[in-house]
Amino acid sequence: MNIGKKDNEKTEKKESINRETSSKEKLNKESFNNTLESKESEKVVCTVEGLPITIDEVVETYQIFLDDIFNEEPETVLTDEEKENLLNESLYTLIDDKLIYLDAKKNNISITDNELTEEEENFRKEFGQDLPLEIILEERGLSLDVFREKLLEELTIKKMLKKKIPENTFTDQYLWDYYLKHKDELEDKGKNEEEKTFEKITDELRQVLEGMIFLDIYTNYVDELFEKAKIIFNEKNCEILFQKR
């Protein structure tokens, strides 16, 4: 079980954020924070600057990743190692979210009541066509208050990422320079060097380039946050978590 390390290979079967983790190998496995309430700590896998991440949260994220994979390729069969890597990635995705959320609070990033209400209404329109939102949440064991807390955190993270990675990052010139630097990593599609002009870059390739640039900036950002953060793992609960794959 690779607690404290994240799989370095990007999973090709889904669009997810993965990153190099040499810094994570240096993670000091400190004893778990005994100040947590005993009842809650039974489910806590780790704390990020005191914010808990529970077994249930990791499993829920893991299931979302699995659904994405099977929706794309229904015949996919994952090995035990792939399941463990995906579960590990689920854990570190949540750690990333906590780190970005905390950084957003430090930078006074906030969400207005109107923004929160608008996002909730969008959610109701998209997912509540057949059943009311409250019924959907009840089936998932969530209260409306907990849902709104999660929604608030998600919106805060998105707003912080927009600040770190503004849309004007992806100008034509920036994309072209990035393409020239990384074109060997992309499919050539049989084009000669003289044919490789920016006008030849398709919308599909533009999306690939934007994704690569986003990942580069995101990776450096969260790795810097990780280096400075106090993250404490509960080894016992990590063992329980990885038995659920």
CATH number, domain containing residue 146? 1.10.4030.10
In a domain, 163, yes or no: yes
> Shortest CA distance to 229 belongs to which of 53, 57, 54, 56?
53
Measured distance CA(9)–CA(24) in Å, rounded = 15
Q: Which two tokens stand for residue 99?
A: 């780190």
In a domain, 14, yes or no: no
Q: What does the pLDDT look like over 18-56, one tens digit per residue?
A: 333 333 333 433 444 444 444 455 699 999 999 999 999
pTM comes to 0.74
Q: What is the residue whose two structure tokens read 């889904």?
A: 14
Q: Mind giving me the DSSP string for 74-92? A: TT----HHHHHHHHHHHHH
| DSSP state for residue 95 in the 8-state scheme | H
Q: How many helices (H) and strands (E) does the chain have?
A: 9, 3
Beta bridge partner(s), residue 47: 52, 232
- The answer to whether 29 and 216 are in contact (CB under 8 A) is no
Q: What does the pLDDT look like over 88-141, one tens digit per residue?
A: 999 999 999 999 999 999 999 999 999 999 999 998 888 767 788 888 888 888
In a domain, 11, yes or no: no
In a domain, 73, yes or no: yes
In a domain, 8, yes or no: no
In a domain, 2, yes or no: no
- If one counts the domains in the chain, the total is 1
> Shortest CA distance to 60 belongs to which of 127, 121, 147?
147
In a domain, 3, yes or no: no
In which domain, by residue range, is 175 found? 23-242
> Shortest CA distance to 46 belongs to which of 8, 88, 9?
88
List Cβ neighbours of 114 (8 Å cut-off, separation of 6 or more).
Answer: none
In a domain, 31, yes or no: yes
> Shortest CA distance to 212 belongs to which of 186, 241, 243, 238?
186
Measured distance CA(20)–CA(9) in Å, rounded = 8
Q: What does the pLDDT look like over 199-228, one tens digit per residue?
A: 666 677 778 888 888 999 999 999 999 999
Q: Which two tokens stand for residue 119?
A: 């996002």
